[in-house]
Amino acid sequence: MTSDRLAMQDPRYQYPRPPFEAQQQSAPGLSAKMNPEPDCGEKSYTGTGKLKGRKALVTGGDSGIGRAIAIAYAREGADVAINYLHQESADAADVIDLIKKDGRKAVALPGDIQSEDFCNSLVQKTVEQLGGLDILVNNAAAQSSVSSLLDVETDEFDRIMKTNIYALFWITKAAIPHLEPGSAIINTSSIQAYDPSQEIIAYALTKAAIVDFTKGLSKQMMERGVRVNAVAPGPFWTPIQPSGSEPEKVKNLGAKTPFGRPGQPVECAPLFVLLASQEGSYLNGEVLGITGGAGVG
C-alpha cells in the first residue's frame, strides 16, 4: 500500500478483503497488532497544503481513523496535537514521529477523556503548545460487544457514554472560546447511528447522539463563523474492531458491503481534510457518510 492509491483501479480490490484472521485484543487495541495492519496513510497519503498554518487537536489520534486524520492534517500543513490513552503510547509515538518528519509541530497529550478536568487541560495544553486551536476533531470512542442488553454492566455503559459523549461535550465546550471565525469542529459519528447492530447498542446510541449534537451545535457556532460537521463511517479496519467486536465479526468485517471489504482509515482522511479546510466553506451541520455503499440516513 503505497502512494499509488490514487491511481485508477477497481476500488473493490484496492485493499484487503475478508475473510481475515480471527483476532481479538483487549481494549484499547493497537494498530501494530492487527493482521493485516491498517493503512492510515503512513506511506500512501500525499498532501497539497490545504491546511497550511492551521492548528489541530485530534482525540484518538494514535490509531485507526484518528491516526489517518493526524497524518493527513500534518501533510496538508497543520500542526497537530493528539490525545490517546497511556496504553496506546506505542502507536502514538509512531504518529508523533511521522508528523515531525513532515516538518510540522507534533504534541502528544496522553490521558483519559472520561475525566472533565483532563478534557479541560487537554484543550488548554493544546492551545499553549501549538499557539492556538482552529481545528477540533472529536474522534476517540469506546465500544464493546454483548449479546443482550441484560449483559451491559453499568460501569461499561458509563465508560462508553463518558468516552463518546461526555468527553465530546467537555472538550468542545473548552475549545469554543479559542476558535476564531473560519475554524472547524468535526465529530466522528457512524453508520451505527442509522443502522445499529444489535450487539453494540450502547455504542450506536452514542453515535446517534453525536449526529444531533453536530446539527444543533452547528446552528450556534455559525453565529461565530465556525463550522460544525460530522463524518459517519461504515465498517473500517481499525483497532476498535478486534477490541470491541466478536472475533467472527472481525473475520468477516465489510463482507456485506457492496465493496465486499472494510474501508481503510486513509480512505476516510480526505473527508476530514475537506471539512477542516476552506474547500468545505459551505458545509455546516452536515453528516458525510463513507460506508462502502451501505448508505447513511
Among all residues, which ones are annotated catalytic? Answer: 203
* Cα–Cα dist 109/204, whole Å: 27
**Sign of the dihedral defined by the CA atoms of residues 199, 201, 207, 211, in that order:** positive
Cα distances (angstroms) measured from residue 34 to each of 39, 218, 242, 249, 277: 11, 36, 8, 14, 31
Helices first, then strands: H and E counts in the chain: 9, 7
* DSSP per-residue letters across 94-130: HHHHHHHHTT--EEEEE--TT-HHHHHHHHHHHHHHH
Residue at grid coordinates 458525510: 288
Straight-line distance from the first to the last Cα atom of the chain, in angstroms, rounded to the nearest whole number: 32
- Cell numbers at residue 56, please? 489541530
Question: Is there a contact between 80 and 40 (Cβ–Cβ < 8 Å)?
Answer: no
Given a contact cutoff of 8 angstroms between Cβ atoms, the answer to whether 57 and 67 are in contact is: no
Q: Is-contact 294 254, C-beta < 8 A?
A: no
Is the previous residue joined to 177 through a cis bond, with omega within 30 degrees of 0? no
Residues in the chain: 297
Residue among 163, 139, 158, 164 nearest 238 (CA): 139
